[in-house]
Amino acid sequence: MAEVASEEHELRRVIDEGREVDGLGENELLAIHRSLVLLRTYDERSVVYHRQGRIGTYAIFWNHEAMQAGSVHALADGDWLFPSYRESAIGLLRGMPVSTVLHWWRGHPAGWWNPADYRVASICVPIGTHVPHAAGLAWGEKLKGNPTVAIAYFGDGATSEGSFHEGANFAAVMQAPLILLCNNNQWAISTPVDEQTHADTLAAKAAGYGMPGVRVDGGDVLAVYEATREAAERARAGGGPTFVEAVTYRAAPHATADDPRAYIDLERVEEEKQNECLGRYESYLRRLGVLDDARAEEVRQEALELMRAGIAEAEAEPEPDPELLFDNAYVLPPPNLREGWSA
C-alpha cells in the first residue's frame, strides 16, 4: 500500500516559510483572519448547540477553516462555491446569515437559500455528486463568455467516487474554469487515505485528467490562498481546471455521531491540535505586527455575538408545517404514508 504522509511530499507553504504573499496588504490579511475566526466560532458553537439538542447531527470542520477561508478570499465575489457538508458554513463568508446555516442543520426549510443570491450552491451531502454540477456551471459560464470560476470542495474519500471522476474529466475536456479543492484530511469517516487509493498522492490524479495538480499545507491559510488564486487566474485566462490537494489531518470526529478513538491516531490528533490553523495564522500576524490581543479579542467577541444572535433567530422561527415533507415529493402520497398522520 502506498504510504501517503504529508511530510514526504513537498507541500506549498507560506506561514512556516515566513513568506509574504504578493498583493496581500494589512486589510486583506485581517479580513482573512476575521473569516477564520468566524468559521472557528461557528464550528465550536455548533458542537455545543448539538450537545444541547438545538441542532441535529453536525459535521465538525475544526482545523479545516484555513482551506475554506483561504480559497474564498482568493476568488472574486461573482465566482461560484460548491460546498460539501464539511464546508456547510462557507456561505457566511459571502454574507449568508448565520441563522440560515443553523436552520439547515436544524432540518428547517428556512435553511434553504437561492444559490444565485450568494453564488453558493446547496450543501452537498452525497459524496462527490456536486463535482459534475460545478463542472457544468463552469463550462456554462465559459460558453456565455463570463469571467466566472467555480470551485468544488470535497474530501479525500470523494476521489474514489464516479461523480468525482466524471466531473474532473468533463471539466478538463471542456477546459472549464473549475477549481477542484480536495480537503485531504486523511480520513473518510474511519477509512484512512492509504486504503482509499494506491496513488502516491491525490494531486497525482490530476495528471490523468490532463490538468495541473498542486499540493498545499491545508493548515496554512495563505498557502491555500496563493494556490487558489493561481488556479483562478489560470481558469479565467482559459487554462482550464486545477486540482488542489490541501493536506491536513482530521483532528475532530467526522461528525457529532462519530467516536474516532476506535480508529484514529490519537497522538497525531494532539499534534494537529497544537498546530491548528487559526493559532498558526494568528502567530504569523503577530510576528508581522498586524494583530494584537485587543484586536484578536474584538474579532472573537464579534463572531460570538453573531452566533448568539443567529441561534436566537433560528429558534424564534416557527416550526415548519409537517405537510412540507410531502410537497414536491408526491402528487398523490401513497396511503401508507398517511397512516396515523393527523395533519
Of positions 158, 211, 222, 299, contacts ligand TPP by CB under 6 A:
158
Of positions 91, 155, 240, 310, contacts ligand TPP by CB under 6 A:
155
Provide DSSP, 4-38. Answer: --GGGS--B-STTTT---TT--HHHHHHHHHHHHH
- Residue 155 sits in the site that holds Mg ion (CB under 5 A): yes
Strands ordered across the beta sheet of 242-247 = 80-82, 150-155, 178-184, 242-247, 213-217
Q: How far apart are CA 269 and CA 223, in angstroms?
A: 22
Of positions 35, 159, 185, 201, contacts Mg ion by CB under 5 A:
185
Give how far Cα 211 sits from Cα of 27, 135, 168, Å.
33, 14, 9
Provide the 10 A C-beta neighbour count for residue 236.
15
Q: How far apart are CA 61 and CA 153, in angstroms?
A: 13
Catalytic residue among 153, 254, 280, 284: 254
- Residue 258 sits in the site that holds Mg ion (CB under 5 A): no
- Residue 185 sits in the site that holds ligand TPP (CB under 6 A): yes
In the complex, least distance from residue 95 CB atom to ligand TPP, rounded to whole angstroms? 24
Provide the 10 A C-beta neighbour count for residue 98.
23
Q: Which stretch binds Mg ion (CB under 5 A): 99-107, 108-116, 150-158, 197-205?
A: 150-158
**What residues between 85 and 144 interact with ligand TPP by CB under 6 A?**
86, 125-127
- Residue 162 sits in the site that holds ligand TPP (CB under 6 A): no
Number of residues near ligand TPP (by CB under 6 A): 15
Query: Smaller CB distance to ligand TPP: residue 90 or 127?
Result: 127
- Residue 183 sits in the site that holds ligand TPP (CB under 6 A): yes
The CA dihedral of 34, 101, 220, 147, to the nearest 10 degrees, is -90
In the complex, least distance from residue 21 CB atom to Mg ion, rounded to whole angstroms? 27
34 is catalytic: no
Exposed e or buried b per residue across 18-47, where buried means at least 16 C-beta atoms within 10 angstroms of its C-beta = eeeeeebeeeebeebbbbbbbbbbbbebbb
263 is catalytic: yes
In the complex, least distance from residue 83 CB atom to ligand TPP, rounded to whole angstroms? 11
- Residue 67 sits in the site that holds ligand TPP (CB under 6 A): no
- Residue 156 sits in the site that holds ligand TPP (CB under 6 A): yes
String marking each residue 245-284 x if it binds ligand TPP according to CB under 6 A: ---------x------------------------------
Positions marked active-site: 250, 254, 263
The contact set with ligand TPP (CB under 6 A) reads 86, 125-127, 154-158, 183, 185, 187-189, 254
